[in-house]
């Protein structure tokens, strides 16, 4: 184990050569420091609920007047929660508590995600729908309760603009000697964390930033792969090997919180207090946030060992909503209420006692490896979240058609299967994987030929499990822009859902106006005779929209345009002949959990 300047143990120092384009990350992973502090570190203000609602609210209490607590910085540690909202398997918390006489567990509310946006298409901020905000607040309340049960508490701060400024101010005001936070590889997080690390370096504060959001650190995999991210799941799995063990230590208590000076510490707000207007009519997600709920949900999912051993995506029903066909642990993994390593190891334990079990990519551990796969590729691919400048993304002339896009976004395409999924997205923030496939394919290469980035943005805002790497990776995949290239295989917006749910119960639940439509017409209500429409109290074109496109014609046109786009991409790739190209189509592709997915040989 390495020792830091104060002779304390560093538990997870990763010192890895990183892709050259990412020097900021190098300093983060290595825990090394950059030279200068930010010119001005604004002082943190704690959450002041009455003022929080307005987008332009000014924070009134200047905290720079607080005298720093007169205690020894060497014994004061801060654990800065961002994701990783849990106590179990939390190496950052574990590192922070070791040797600390005072421990400051901090979370900073970020206006980037929380500031109300009245012009948004549904309540919430510009970047997060109200369902995800509520999930976050519930997760924070639960974390606070868990910390309190260990003699600590969550110190909730509110950033005026920049979270890094708020953290820097608290570090200074509270005379912190050691800062610990979970490594985060998203571009926004990298820039934010670099700013804090620069400040810490200039202030002589030790920084520890262990990996625990994913099974592996993406840089580690990239290094093992010769400096480039593996672009197929098979090669990723072959390189990755087994993830490290989770931190299994259980605490009976944590060091007490130190003096917080004049900081006013307020409880976690309710979502209604955040200024998103009247949300009483919103049908919010049935999935509640927090580590307690995450562990309960995981245990319930794993209780049926036979189910775990036989888990095989895509053999689940995407229309099952009362009892979803998969675990619905994604929002808990997204916020880190559940540790992916802990989850992985619990599944492995079940495998050990099972006579036989499924394997990646279709198994339950295989799903967690998909997650790490997308984290790795996104980390090592510049401009991963856009078409332009992204060398693994096909360049496609998508159609600019706002009307079609809005019909898709708002669940009024006239195809009940597609609309029900989009309504579930808006209300619950979660849909089954194959439901996501259906609507992503429909928007892009299947029917509407609208740019995947537009669909990605809608998912990014509304999903409660919204995850930068996974969301972008799957949109690239579904639009046949990267990873998967069988663009002629298109999901039918009619027969695909019908196969699982012939009676249309899922549609009836999310689109009540169709609840009395006979099952013969529920997937194609425009084909119902007028007398039947009248009887069902649903006139197509009046009570429910007519289809925005004819699927047969539209999908044929999409195939043609994709064929042209692929041909022109091939031409563009020609000059690079002889050079291995990241964007060249691979002969054999696996779809994540798609109907044609084949079982990989056990390679991990």
> Interface residues for ligand FAD in 266-325 (CB under 6 A)?
313
Closest approach of ligand FAD to the CB of residue 26, in Å: 26
Contact between 333 and ligand FAD per CB under 6 A: yes
- Touching ligand FAD, residues 373-412 (CB under 6 A): 374
| Rg from Cα positions in the chain | 25
480 binds ligand FAD (CB under 6 A): no
Is 374 annotated as a binding-site member? yes
Does 344 bind ligand FAD (CB under 6 A)? Our answer is no
Residues 571 to 600: which contact ligand FAD by CB under 6 A? 592-593
Q: How many CB atoms lie within 10 A of CB 113?
A: 18
Binding status of residue 508 toward ligand FAD by CB under 6 A: no
371 binds ligand FAD (CB under 6 A): yes
Residue 369 assigned as binding residue: yes
325: tokens are: 């066909």
Smallest distance from the beta carbon of 105 to ligand FAD, in angstroms?
25
- The residue among 85, 78, 114, 399 whose CA lies nearest residue 208 is 78
Query: Closest separation between CB of residue 473 and ligand FAD, Å?
Result: 7
Q: Is 328 a residue that touches ligand FAD (CB under 6 A)?
A: yes
Burial category of 109 from C-beta neighbours within 10 Å (exposed 0-12, middle 13-18, buried 19 and up): buried
Q: Is residue 186 a contact residue for ligand FAD (CB under 6 A)? A: no
Q: At closest approach, how far in Å is the CB of 422 from ligand FAD? A: 12
Neighbours of 202 (CB within 10 A): 15
Contact flag: residue 491 with ligand FAD (CB under 6 A): no
Is residue 152 helix, strand or coil?
Answer: coil
- Residue span binding ligand FAD (CB under 6 A) among the ranges 15-23, 271-279, 345-353, 435-443: 435-443
- What are 170's two structure tokens? 């608290």
Is 467 annotated among the ligand-binding residues? yes
Which stretch, 167-175, 181-189, 240-248, 363-371, contacts ligand FAD (CB under 6 A)? 363-371
When binding is defined by CB under 6 A, the residue of 474, 481, 555, 597 that contacts ligand FAD is 474
User: Is 64 part of any known ligand binding site?
Assistant: no
The Cα–Cα gap between 370 and 355 comes to 25
Peptide bond connecting 36 to the previous residue in cis, omega within 30 degrees of 0: no
Helix/strand/coil for 54:
coil
DSSP states of 478-541 as a string? HTTSSS---TT----TTHHHHHH-TT-HHHHHH-GGGTTS-TTTTT-GGGS-HHHHHHTT--BT
Helix axes 340-353 and 364-380, enclosed angle (nearest 10): 150
Q: Which of 88, 146, 158, 436 binds ligand FAD (CB under 6 A)?
A: 436
Closest distance between ligand FAD and the C-beta of residue 455, in Å? 7
For residues 215 and 350, what is the distance between their CA atoms, to the nearest angstrom? 18
Q: How many residues bind ligand FAD (CB under 6 A)?
A: 30
448 is in an annotated binding site: no
Is 171 labeled as ligand-binding? no
Among 83, 132, 433, 451, binds ligand FAD (CB under 6 A): 433
The residue within the footprint of ligand FAD, chosen from 276, 342, 370, 506 (CB under 6 A), is 370
The burial class, CB within 10 Å (0-12 / 13-18 / 19+), for 143 is buried
Question: What is the b/e burial string over 443-453, where b = at least 16 CB atoms within 10 angstroms of the residue's CB?
Answer: bbbbbbbbbbb
Q: Strand, helix or coil at 574?
A: helix
Q: Is residue 478 a contact residue for ligand FAD (CB under 6 A)?
A: yes
Binding region for FAD: 326-330, 367-374, 465-467
Q: Which residues bind ligand FAD (CB under 6 A)?
A: 313, 326-330, 333-334, 367-368, 370-371, 374, 432-433, 436-437, 440, 459, 463, 465-467, 470-471, 474-475, 478, 592-593
């Amino acid at each position: 184990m390495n020792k830091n300047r104060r002779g304390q143990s560093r538990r997870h120092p990763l010192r890895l050569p990183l892709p050259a384009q990412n020097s900021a990350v190098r300093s983060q992973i290595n825990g090394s420091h950059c030279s200068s502090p930010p010119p001005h570190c604004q002082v943190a203000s704690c959450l002041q609920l009455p003022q929080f609602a307005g987008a332009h609210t000014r924070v009134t209490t200047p905290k720079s007047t607080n005298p720093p607590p007169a205690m020894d910085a060497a014994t004061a540690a801060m654990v800065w929660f961002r994701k990783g909202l849990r106590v179990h398997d939390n190496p950052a918390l574990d590192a922070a508590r070791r040797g600390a006489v005072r421990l400051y567990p901090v979370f900073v509310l970020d206006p980037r995600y929380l500031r109300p946006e009245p012009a948004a298409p549904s309540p919430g901020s510009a970047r997060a729908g109200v369902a995800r905000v509520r999930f976050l607040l519930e997760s924070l309340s639960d974390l606070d309760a868990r910390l309190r049960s260990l003699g600590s508490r969550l110190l909730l701060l509110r950033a005026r603009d920049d979270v890094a400024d708020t953290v820097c101010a608290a570090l200074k005001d509270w005379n912190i000697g050691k800062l610990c936070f979970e490594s985060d590889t998203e571009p926004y997080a990298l820039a934010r964390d670099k700013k804090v690390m620069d400040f810490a370096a200039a202030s002589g504060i030790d920084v520890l930033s262990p990996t625990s959001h994913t099974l592996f650190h993406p840089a580690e995999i990239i290094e093992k792969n010769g400096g480039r991210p593996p672009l197929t799941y098979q090669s990723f799995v072959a390189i990755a090997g087994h993830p490290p063990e989770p931190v299994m230590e259980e605490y009976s208590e944590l060091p007490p919180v130190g003096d917080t000076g004049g900081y006013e510490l307020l409880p976690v707000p309710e979502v209604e207090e955040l200024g998103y207007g009247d949300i009483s009519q919103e049908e919010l997600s049935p999935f509640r946030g927090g580590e307690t709920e995450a562990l309960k949900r995981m245990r319930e999912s794993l209780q049926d060992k036979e189910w775990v051993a036989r888990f095989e995506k895509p053999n689940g029903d995407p229309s099952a909503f009362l009892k979803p066909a998969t675990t619905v642990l994604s929002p808990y993994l997204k916020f880190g209420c559940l540790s992916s390593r802990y989850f992985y190891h619990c599944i492995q334990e079940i495998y050990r006692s099972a006579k036989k079990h499924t394997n990646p990519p279709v198994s339950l551990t295989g799903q967690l490896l998909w997650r790490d796969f997308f984290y790795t590729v996104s980390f090592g691919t510049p401009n991963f979240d856009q078409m332009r400048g992204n060398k693994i993304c096909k360049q496609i002339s998508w159609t600019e058609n706002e009307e079609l896009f809005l019909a898709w976004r708002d669940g009024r395409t006239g195809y009940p299967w597609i609309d029900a999924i989009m309504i579930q997205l808006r209300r619950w923030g979660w849909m089954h994987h194959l439901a996501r496939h259906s609507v992503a394919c429909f928007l892009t290469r299947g029917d509407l030929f609208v740019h995947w980035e537009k669909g990605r943005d809608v998912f990014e805002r509304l999903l409660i499990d919204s995850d930068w790497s996974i969301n972008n990776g799957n949109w690239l995949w579904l639009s046949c822009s990267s990873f998967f290239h069988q663009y002629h295989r298109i999901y039918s917006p009619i027969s695909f859902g019908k196969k699982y749910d012939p009676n249309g119960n899922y549609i009836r639940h999310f689109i009540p106006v169709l609840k009395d439509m006979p099952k013969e017409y529920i997937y194609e209500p425009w084909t119902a005779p007028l007398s039947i429409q009248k009887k069902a109290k649903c006139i197509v074109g009046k009570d429910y929209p007519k289809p925005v496109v004819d699927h047969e014609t539209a999908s044929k046109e999409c195939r043609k345009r994709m064929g042209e786009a692929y041909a022109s991409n091939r031409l563009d790739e020609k000059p690079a002949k002889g050079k291995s190209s990241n964007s060249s189509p691979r002969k054999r592709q696996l779809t994540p959990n798609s109907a044609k997915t084949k079982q990989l040989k056990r390679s991990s």
